[in-house]
Each structure stands twice: as C-alpha cells, then as structure tokens.
Structure 1
Amino acid sequence: MANLNINIGDLQLKNPVMTASGTFGYGTEYSDFMDISRIGGIIVKGTTLRERQGNPYPRLAETPSGMLNAVGLQNKGVDYFVNNIYPTIKDVDTNVIVNVSGSEVSDYVATAEKLNGLDKIPAIELNISCPNVKEGGMAFGTSCVSAVQVVGAVRKVYKKTLIVKLSPNVTDITEIARAVEAEGADSVSLINTLLGMAIDAKRRKPVLSTITGGLSGPAVKPVALRMVWQVAKAVKVPVIGLGGIMTATDAIEFMLAGASAIQIGTANFIDPAVCVKVIEGIESYLNDNNFSSVKDIIGALEV
C-alpha cells in the first residue's frame, strides 16, 4: 500500500487531504457522516480577536458550477474558541488548525498569541485574503508590503507551523508568495475565493447584501490549478492547493501541479463524506500506478 504521509513544515499529516476553513465548521459537525480522524487536517472556521456578527442576509448565492458567499467571518471570537470550542475538539485524532483573520495587524498578532499556547493546535492558517471583509482582509493579501507586515508580526509571536492563505485577486500571486515566505511562512495555501457577484434581473438588484462575494466551487478550479503551479515553482515552502476540488482526480491534479497537500471546501456542502472518498481515491491512484508514496506525485507534471 502506498504511503500517504506528508509533512507541511513540522506538521505531520497522515494523508494530504484537509478541509477548507469556513466549510467544515469545527469538524465535529461532520462526525455523524464519517470518521473525521481519517482526515489529514481539519481547518476550522475563521477566528478573529473579537466576536463578529458577519454580513447581513442574503449572503449565499448559487452560481453555475459554484457558489458565492459573503458570510463575513461570523464567529464568537478567539476567547470563546479557547474556552468553549477547543475543549470539545482537542482530542480529535488529527491535526486541528485554526484559520486566523483580523482587521488590523494587532488583531492578527493578539489572536495568534492566544492560540500559540494551545497544545493540541499545531498550526494556524493566516487568512490575509478573504474578500468578504470590508476592513483589512482583502488589502493585506493584495499588497506585498501589507502581506509582509502582517506575516512578519505574527511570525514573531507564533512559534508553531504558520500557513499563509493567499488571495487570487492579484496581478502576480508569486510575488505575494515569495514575500510571505521571506517573512517566515512555513507554507502557503491557495487559492481563496475569487471576487464575483450575482444579479437578480427580475428585481434589478444584487443577490448578495454586500453586492460582491467570494466565488468557490468547480468554476474556479482552472484558475486555482494555474496559480498553484506558478507558486510551487516560485517558493521552496510546501504549497497547499484548493479551489474547486470535488473528486480524488481533482486533488491529484493539484498535487501534480506542485501541491504537497490539498483542501476541500465547497464539495463538503454537497457530500459531507467527500474527504474520506478523496483519500481513498488518492490511495487507489497511487497503488494502481505503482507509486510507493504520495510524495512521488508532487510536482510530477510533465511539461
């Protein structure tokens, strides 16, 4: 049987399949559908320093081959997570990773500091790319200067594996990737959602309360694949690929493009057991093609 183990910095994954933040709750919500400990890593919903109510409804819209969301990082804040959520997930037998966002650099730093002390949280994913938050989130991820500022500040206080999630809403994503790598990122994950919008022609109004939102699902996969391929050639740290992954074949394509691991997002809403199916599909592919390790297919695209 092929070896599915993979490392992301010091983070050891039993397989390369992770869940994308905002699509899997805190993990336990999916335990009725599968054994969540089989997943390589669970990235919980976005966490901020203070409680956020999120954006007004409506904040979801179906689109051809995808969906738009403008949830706006609704959560009860990092202190609530530490006191109420962490005790319920700390003994899950896999990597539980917290997605961290903020409106100011000091927010990111304070949140990371609080999470640094949690023994069973081995990594954070720094969200500098969310297009749904009006203050801060998108700006940090679309400028090398601001990306460097926030990643450098967090790196000084956070001592475990630091993953930085990149925005696709930029001219050259490799510039941002190299900038955050230089500031101490242990890995980069990409892509976050593409900025889009939907219009109700009958009402002549936007579908979303925020007018624009983040596009995810199969529609973004070709863009995500291209960006993962570009970034994997530009940096030395491991790349985590995501964007429209629905099947094991999709996941394998991202790994061939250079991703060391992948995240599954929108597909969780369609099939809550999709992560386990993708793990099994990757294993079958490796065995059928006589690969001894999943590492053998990382960046193995022949061009």
Structure 2
Amino acid sequence: MSDAEYVPPKVWKWDQSNGGAFASTNRPTAGATHDAVLPRGKHKFQLHSLATPNGQKVSIMLEELLAAGHDAEYDAWLINIGKGDQFGSGFVEVNPNSKIPAMWDYSGAEPIALFESGSILVHLAEKFGAFYPKDPAKRAQVMNWLMWQMGSAPFVGGGFGHFYAYAPVKLEYPINRYAMETKRQLDVLDKQLAKNKFIAGEDYSIADIAIFPWYGGMVLNRSYNAGEFLDVGIYTNVIRWAKEIDAREPVKRGRCVNTAWGPEDEMLAERHSAADIDRVLAIRKERGTI
C-alpha cells in the first residue's frame, strides 16, 4: 500500500486483505456463515458478548442491578469476534447485525431478543425501574446522552481507534481527522461534567453506564494506548467522573465479564454466578491489575 492518492474504481469490490487487524471479522454482507446454536444457562437473562466497551455496558448494568438488590441474575457467554462467533446462526437469530452484545430475556411469557447496547440498557432500566429517572424532563436528559453516546462512539472506535491503533499503515489525514473529533467529544463531556456530578445530572444513570466504557477508558488511558497523544489530562472533569465510576464495585465486576485477553487466570470467558467474578477479582486485586 502506497501513499499515492487513491482513485476509487467505478464499482467497489471487497478485498479482505485491506481490512487490517480485523479483516477476518468484517465483510460486506449480512447473515450466518455457519450453524452454531447459542448455549443457554439456568438464568432468565442470557448475555452473549465480549468485554469491549460496548459489551461492558451491559455486564456493568447487570452487575449494578444485582448490587441494588434486583433479580437480574444472568449467564454470560463469550462471543469471540476474532473467530467469527458473531456469524453463527444462533447469534444472527438474536442479532441480524452480527455485533456484540446481544441478549435473550426469558423472564416473560415469550422470550425477547435484544441487540444494540443502548436498547438493552433501556430494556433493563425500564424492566427494573432503575438508573432511569421517572421524571419526564430528567428521563429526556438521560436519553439525550445515551443517544449521543450511541451516535458518537463509532467515531472514536471505528474512526480514531481503527486508524491510530489497528490500520495496516499509519496515515496522517484520517488520524488527524478522528483525533480532532475524539477530542471534541471529550470536550463536550468535560463541559457537561463541569456543571453536573454525572452525565445527565446529579444521579447516576444508564447514560453514565453507556459512556464510561468508551470515554472513561480514554481518559484513564485504557484505550488504544493513546492517552498522551490525545492529551487526556486536560479533561479534568471527565477524569473526576471516570475515577468515581471506576471505583464502583459493580463496575469493576462488570468489566471482568467475557474477558478473553490478559493472563489466563485473570480472564473470564463465561459468567454463571457471582462466584465466577469473585475469583477473578480476587486475583486482579492481589496483583493490582483491576
């Protein structure tokens, strides 16, 4: 690949070799590539996910619900996107878009298929009446910021993260373009958090749960090893907020779920009870890696 100006062909054709680090996980068509029945555990919520920022939103929410005393026990099953698990027939049945996270809710008369992390958060918040204010004006603010995250984060992950960390070559134009947008978004949050304890006001909500894994990860330098490059230290209000949320025990627990990297004894591919997370957390706390 050269730095010469790209001249688009009249008709674009997919070339898998141009996909970079995630070439094997992307394709220009939808649908299943193989038959694979999703496993099902004993709990009413069946999460199929991976501990990416989008995946962490749902596992954090479930752990927050459990910590608050709600009947939200769940099984969490690993979807290894590097191996193409998201293209299995069972996963495509619950999420035709083949992206994590996806979840089955078996608590009612008929099972409910859920996909898109924001949709799952709203479903759980409404079901349990938690982390989602009843007041219409306050609820609107939570939804505003939840939708902001859903629309903005692709510029951070698929844009900045891809070109800065994963693209086969470093190209100045896209890195500059998406670094600018990432910093603009961080500034939006910083100004909002200068006048609010949490994202949508004074109460912790699904807006915080959705935004933290992405933007909290950025300012805590967990994302793309880009903290210095993005000069994240200037976003003092985001850092204050991120540290407060990061210290919450349910957040620590939720971040463990469906991890498939790091030392083997610190990974947690599946979660079926609180004891599964307890084991991994104890190891991480002893080593100072949490």
Relative to the length of structure 1, the TM-score reads: 0.32
Q: Counting strand residues as a fraction of each chain, which structure ranks higher?
A: 1
Relative to the length of structure 2, the TM-score reads: 0.33
